[in-house]
Amino acid sequence: MVIFNASEWINLIVRWTHVFSAILWVGTTYYFTWLDMQLRRAEKSGGQVWMVHSGGFYTVVKQKTLGVPPSDVHWFRWESMVTWVSGMTLLMVVYYAGGLIVDASNPTVSEHLAKIVGVSALIIGWVVYDLLVRTPLVRAGWAFGIVALILIVALAWGLRQVMSARATYIHVGALFGTIMASNVWMRILPPQRRMIAAAARGEAIDPELGAGAKERSTHNTFIVVPTVFLMISNHFPTATYGNRYALATMAVLIVTGWCAAAVLRKGPG
């Protein structure tokens, strides 16, 4: 006898939406990152990239001017919004409403305070990242990564003082997701809109607009890999948040994710 459980069905549908929209978002991000690299390599041979897929051949040429009406330009944006909204919904349902935000056997603070800290961490974390990117440190490569890692581990340590280890991992992952979605909607799409508007008016496009958007998109390709590690960590407690070296394990997963992203950015072909 099958019993209809509304809660489980809602949970299942939200999780499916979260995972599938994330696949679309990450796939698009990495595809365009790879495509841009290939187009730069092809500049000396005509600037075209040839591909084969589904029994057909495709050629892509990067345009520096807008040759179609703005309404004909295809945007890739809703995948990030759906991923973030569904992810936040899961955070609220599973942790904030599901009682997993604090250690049930030994809570250090009230659930209410832990929730306030969790939401504040997402907001403040985005602000700190956004300010850090605006400093010269972002051009220093490894130095930027080291500072970022130190801040992330410090945040995780602070979160662990008020919430469960499992919730700590998930909140760091949620922060990464928040940063990526905010990058798309606040730092990538606005300059792209200004670029399209300028092109539609026949004006010269400010190259700084594209450079800034590209920088944030590059950051997203590096952030997403450790985000996946953190989001699936709740299935492997012994290996991740449940062992005595949980913070060190998190740091290793993040660095491993960044290294993997550097390889993935090169793509196939």
Examine the pLDDT at 245 and tell me if it is beyond 60. Answer: yes
Average per-residue pLDDT for the chain: 91
At 166-209, the pLDDT tens digits run: 999 999 999 999 999 999 999 999 999 999 988 888 888 888 88
Which pLDDT value is given to residue 249? Answer: 96
Which pLDDT value is given to residue 1? Answer: 47
* Residue 36, in any domain of the structure: yes
* Residue 159 contacts residue 118 (beta carbons within 8 Å): yes
Which pLDDT value is given to residue 269? Answer: 54
Which pLDDT value is given to residue 21? Answer: 96
What would the mean pLDDT of 86-108 be, rounded to a whole number?
A: 91
At 49-66, the pLDDT tens digits run: 999 988 899 999 888 888
Of 149, 158, 159, 157, the C-alpha closest to 129 is 149
* Residue 146, in any domain of the structure: yes
**Beta bridge mates, 50:** 59
* Residue 187, in any domain of the structure: yes
* Residue 185 contacts residue 262 (beta carbons within 8 Å): no
What would the mean pLDDT of 16-30 be, rounded to a whole number?
A: 94
Q: Residue for token digits 């130190």?
A: 150
Tokens of 257: 């994710």
* Residue 269, in any domain of the structure: no
Q: What is the DSSP letter of 203?
A: P
* Residue 116, in any domain of the structure: yes
The domain tally of the chain equals: 1
* Residue 13, in any domain of the structure: yes
CA distance 176 to 225: 10
Examine the pLDDT at 2 and tell me if it is beyond 60. Answer: no
* Residue 215 contacts residue 110 (beta carbons within 8 Å): no
Which pLDDT value is given to residue 5? Answer: 77
CA distance 181 to 86: 12
The confidence band for 47, taking pLDDT boundaries of 50, 70 and 90, is confident
CA distance 119 to 171: 9
Its domain, for residue 260, covers 6-264
* Residue 73, in any domain of the structure: yes
- If one compares 267 and 53, the residue with the highest pLDDT of the two is 53
The confidence band for 85, taking pLDDT boundaries of 50, 70 and 90, is very high
Which pLDDT value is given to residue 199? Answer: 86
**pTM of this structure:** 0.91
* Residue 1, in any domain of the structure: no
- If one compares 24 and 45, the residue with the highest pLDDT of the two is 24
